[in-house]
Each structure stands twice: as C-alpha cells, then as structure tokens.
Amino acid sequence: MWSTEDVARATVRRQGEGLSVAQVADKVTEAERREQETRQQLNFPGDHGPYDGDPEDLAEQWVARHAEWRRIAALMDAQGWPVYSPEQDVQGSTWARERDTQREGALARRAAWQMERQDARDELKAQVWLSADVSRRLRAIAARTGLEPEQVLAQLADRVRMDDDGALAVDAFTPH
C-alpha cells in the first residue's frame, strides 16, 4: 500500500521526534553507512538465510531513510530548530495526512470487497429446467408484468413459506 519512501518518511518521522540537531546528524551518518552496507551486499549475492529479507528491498529502504534524514537535518538547519518536532514539519505532516487518507481509502475498499464476497456467498444462483407448459406460463406472466422470468421466480421464492408438516405454500401475490 505504501511506497518505500512513504515507509521511510513515517519511520523517520516517528524516530526523529524530540531529537536534537546533533542526534539527527548522527542518524544521517548512520543511514548513510547502512545505505552503503546494503548496496555492498547487493554486489555479493550469496546464500541468504531463511530470515533474511530481500537485499534489494533493504537497500531501497536505507536509500529512502537516508534521504529523509537529510531532509529533516536541512529543515532543522533552515528553520533553526533545536529539536525535531513532526507537528512543525509542514511537508512531513502533509505526507502523513496523504498516507492516512490512502490507508483509510484502502481499508474502505477492503471492507466493501469483503461485503461483496459475503453477499456473493449468501446469494444462490440456480439453473432451473421447466417443462414447456410451465415455461410458457412463466413467460406469459413475465410479459404481462414487464419483468424477466427470473425476476418473477425470485419474487415467488421470496414469498414461499414452509408449513409445520414441511409443505411449501405461497399466498396469492402480484409480481411487480
């Protein structure tokens, strides 16, 4: 759902809160070192253990984190902030709101999709073979009401009730 940059921004924003200029500078240095290390790992494709992640993905993450730490360091320097405050970071706050909006949209789409799946499981699609005589009567009823034969059958099924002895009954009704 989120890009590598989005994840890096959220991570750095969370980790950077309350850090001093010197601490942010240390984070820039650490991110630069980690970026170089992960790039070097790409040059030596070896056997990665079952718990190791994708080395390309890890390298991309550190490139994005390094860029974000540099952005925050430059922002603090330009604004003269002694400590980083995510609330004062206009660009970072804008990105965070955009991520939240994306997440809410994705959650809403997921909920709608799940509801559709539930509705689909609850639906019954049946193919009914009717004798020629019954089929003619059904088509005539449908033609008089302006409905499709399947719609008439669906309305009929809606009104069926089962008696205590298991017999099915339908009260008289007019299809609409």
Full domain range(s) for residue 53: 4-122
User: Residue 72 — very low, low, confident or very high, per pLDDT cuts 50/70/90?
Assistant: very high
Tens-place pLDDT, residues 8-46: 999 999 999 999 999 999 999 999 999 998 888 877 766
Say what the pLDDT of residue 3 is: 87
User: Residue 51 — very low, low, confident or very high, per pLDDT cuts 50/70/90?
Assistant: very low
Residue 10: Cβ-neighbour burial (10 angstroms; 0-12, 13-18, 19+): middle
Tens-place pLDDT, residues 102-112: 899 999 999 99
Residue 176 lies in a domain: no
User: 95 and 14 in one domain?
Assistant: yes
User: 18 and 105 in one domain?
Assistant: yes
User: 141 and 117 in one domain?
Assistant: no
User: 92 and 65 in one domain?
Assistant: yes
User: 94 and 64 in one domain?
Assistant: yes
Say what the pLDDT of residue 38 is: 87
Q: Is the alpha carbon torsion for 70, 74, 79, 81 positive or negative?
A: positive
Judge whether 30 and 19 are in contact, CB under 8 Å: no
Alpha carbons 141 and 156: distance in angstroms, whole number: 12
Residue 53: pLDDT over 70: no
Q: What is the mean pLDDT of the chain?
A: 90
CA distances from 21 to 18, 74, 110, 129 (A): 10, 10, 41, 79
Average pLDDT (60-80) is 95
Token representation of residue 149: 């034969």
Per DSSP, the three-state class of 79 is helix
CA 78, distance to chain mean position in Å, is 37
User: 106 and 66 in one domain?
Assistant: yes
Q: Decide which of 92 and 119 is more confident.
A: 92
